[in-house]
Amino acid sequence: MNLIDHLRSRRSVRSFDSRAVPDSVLEDILAAASRAPTGGSMQLYTAIVTTDVARKEALAGIHFGVESIRSAAAVLTFCIDIHRLGRWLELAGEVPGFDNAWGLAIGYSDALVAAQSATLAAESLGLGTCFLGSTVAASPMLCGFFGLPAHVLPVATVILGYPKEDQAPASPSSRLPVATVFHRETYAEPTDAELSKAYAEHGPATFEMFARMPSNAAGIEAFGIKNLEMMYARLNYPPDLLELSGMYFLAAMTGQGFISEQQVARAKAARATMADPAVGALSMTRQLVFSLALASGALDGRLARSPSALETEVFDFVNAAEPTLYEEFTAMSVFHPGLRARLHAALGGFGAQLEQAAE
Ligand SMILES: Cc1cc2nc3c(=O)[nH]c(=O)nc-3n(C[C@H](O)[C@H](O)[C@H](O)COP(=O)(O)O)c2cc1C
């Protein structure tokens, strides 16, 4: 079967027979998944394979009792990992800078792309697979379970095994119309009528699919859930449970050293300034200098001022300290380390001037 036909007909599998997946098959899947595209060829992820029965049992508990983990032959936990590359750079005497939202975003992307490659590789070998979204809420517990060092964060789980014959999905599950999800050139906001039409078939079909799953039947019956809207908002993804899951994930994210309170506070304070069209309209060099000043904290105490007045102040200050820097930046690349070092030195003076003014 070619890949397009496979993608059209594949289904998630949540119930597996007792056949073990041979190590050679597992190794093939992992080797294929490791070929996934990866930002900067950095592979900012690590996946941990669990096949041990007792550890799978423990994992089922950590994932809030997900039954399918128990019958899966293997559980693959995909983690963002900026630790490994950071260590390697440090061995070479370099200073890594991935411990921020950028590292989180690229590592998250890397982990998910690799996870999807693993599912396709496994499915191509006759195995069934399913993602587990419970990974997000379970991430603080998973950090302890796997002994993850700082800067490693679990974000996705794929379970796999040979599908139980009688559980083999009969037909592909429903999706929204392609044009609802894939827009051309600009965001296409649907009217209320178009939105309702887009969900007209998908809603009932998906509700029926979930209603057939034994894990959902009791809740649907007990709480009088009648359609997908009710199921999403009241049963599976109610606001208070999502708030809680988000808090768990945030706890793991901050605990593992990805996002610091200072970074969040600075980003929040600077958000309006960053989004101001006056800043977006600056020349590339002036925008870069201003943005670096924002990120470095040199402007922390002055963000109440208008972005264009603030930018002019930064421009004048840097120009006085480093008269040729703007031209040099324009002529050379923003990646020129020497130029950025001189800029940071100048910006340090700007911050110090600010502190003096405040005293
Ligand atoms: C990010 C993500 C999280 C998911 N989490 C779960 C989960 O926790 N439990 C589960 O049974 N299925 C989970 N799934 C599988 C979806 O329910 C499934 O892909 C969807 O219903 C469409 O069905 P299909 O994959 O059979 O086409 C998840 C899928 C993704 C991509």
Instruction: Please answer whether residues 247 and 139 qualify as being in contact, where contact means their C-beta atoms are separated by less than 8 angstroms.
Output: no
Q: Is 216 in the pocket of ligand 1 (CB under 6 A)?
A: no
Fill in the DSSP letter of residue 235.
Answer: I
Task: Choose which residue among 131, 155, 215, 242 to substitute to test ligand 1 binding: the one with the highest number of ligand atoms within 8 A of its C-beta.
Answer: 131
**What is the C-alpha separation between 250 and 267, in angstroms, rounded?**
16
DSSP string computed for 159-196: EEEPBPGGG--SSPPP---HHHHS-SSS--PPPHHHHH
Radius of gyration of the chain (CA): 25
Residue showing tokens 């200050």: 317
Q: What does each of the 359 residues of the chain score in pLDDT, given as a tens digit?
A: 799 999 999 999 999 999 999 999 999 999 999 999 999 999 999 999 999 999 999 999 999 999 999 999 999 999 999 999 999 999 999 999 999 999 999 999 999 999 999 999 999 999 999 999 999 999 999 999 999 999 999 999 999 999 997 655 578 999 999 999 999 999 999 999 999 999 999 999 999 999 999 889 999 999 999 999 999 999 999 999 999 999 999 999 999 999 999 999 999 999 999 889 998 899 999 999 999 999 988 998 888 889 999 999 999 999 999 999 999 999 988 888 899 999 999 998 887 776 676 66
Q: Residue with the nearest Cα to atom 1 of ligand 1?
A: 133
Q: Is 133 in the pocket of ligand 1 (CB under 6 A)?
A: yes
Q: Is 174 in the pocket of ligand 1 (CB under 6 A)?
A: no
Q: How far is the CA of 143 from the centre of ligand 1 (A)?
A: 22
pTM of the complete model? 0.92
Q: Residue with the nearest Cα to atom 9 of ligand 1?
A: 132
Instruction: Please answer whether residues 149 and 83 qualify as being in contact, where contact means their C-beta atoms are separated by less than 8 angstroms.
Output: yes
Burial 103-112 (b: 16+ CB within 10 A, else e): bbebbbbbbb
Reduced to 3 states (helix: H, G, I; strand: E, B; else coil), residue 74 is: strand
Q: How far is the CA of 158 from the centre of ligand 1 (A)?
A: 10
Q: How far is the CA of 42 from the centre of ligand 1 (A)?
A: 28
Q: Is 232 in the pocket of ligand 1 (CB under 6 A)?
A: no
